[in-house]
Amino acid sequence: MTDIIMDCDPGIDDAVALSIALNNAHLNVKLVTTVAGNVSVDKTTKNALNIINFFGKAKTVRVAAGAKQPLIKAFEDAARIHGSSGIGGYQFTHPSLVPPLKVNAVQALYNEIMQSSNPITLVATGSYTNVALLLSEYPEVAKKLTRIIAMGGSLSSGNMTSVAEFNCFTDPHAAEIMYQSGVPIVMVGLDITNKALLTHATLQTIAHLNSTGKMLYDIISADGDQNNQGVAMHDVNTIFYLLHPEFIHTQAFWIDVQTTGPANGATVGDIRGAYHNGKTNAEVCTDIDVQAFNNWFINEVKQMPF
């Protein structure tokens, strides 16, 4: 079993990734921290609490609310994709009554990581503001983290500008701090997440599997990031990589993050090894078995407890 912490901004695809992580027998979710991103942090926190409560784990998996805005850049949400609540399309009939932790996300992250007797993998699926604040305020945690599996970035094209992906665009200064931290990073970016669409056939299948499948179907169907081929579940790819790296091709690069001008938020890979003396700071996901991703997703939902 792998101990993980999820730092996220639910958000449709975050909610789906969290649902799988909470119910997979090989993953132990130690803590969930939230950040402003897809919607405001009060909404992402509420959504995380409701997802956890849906699976009856509100008393065992705690949530800590984090940054309300990026380090420097003005905050821009993605409500146009996720709806004003963040997970439009589904109404939780029994919302969580368990409040978030009294400490903020950075303190909760520090406490959990430093007190853990087991290695921790940090799965970051929102903007990296909490992660950057943690690594800046408590640099000693870098040696306690096995790695960061971070959804975000792109070697090819963006979804906020022609070069910038949303999470990196939202807080590029935080992304820069994370990539310069020395923590091993797996970059799960648009290079694979735009390929690994959940097909409409997959969605129809899960809708009839169980009550969880129906909930996920309703949430995913409201996602604005879809086309005739299917729906992009960007953040779910982090959990797929964590559990099945054999279906994803990676290549080591040094990643620099642009923090100014029209290329703000762009992740630039040193593909020739020309600018950092051949050093690398990330394993970048470059290709994925899309059919394996869909098959795995169906199987994960099928094994949900209800």
Residue positions annotated with a catalytic role:
234
The total of other beta-carbon atoms located within 10 Å of residue 182's CB is: 12
Distance CA 155, CA 269 (A): 6
Measured in Å, how far apart are the chain's first and last C-alpha atoms? 22
The continuous run of DSSP H or E covering 114 comes out as: helix 105-115
Cβ(161)–Cβ(258) under 8 Å?
Answer: no
Distance CA 194, CA 87 (A): 20
Q: Which two tokens stand for residue 181?
A: 């931290």
Three-state SS at 8? strand
Give residue for tokens 């079993």: 1
The total of other beta-carbon atoms located within 10 Å of residue 53's CB is: 19
Distance CA 246, CA 302 (A): 22
Give residue for tokens 């990196």: 168
Q: Which two tokens stand for residue 115?
A: 């007190």
The total of other beta-carbon atoms located within 10 Å of residue 270's CB is: 17
* 266 Cα distance to chain centroid: 18
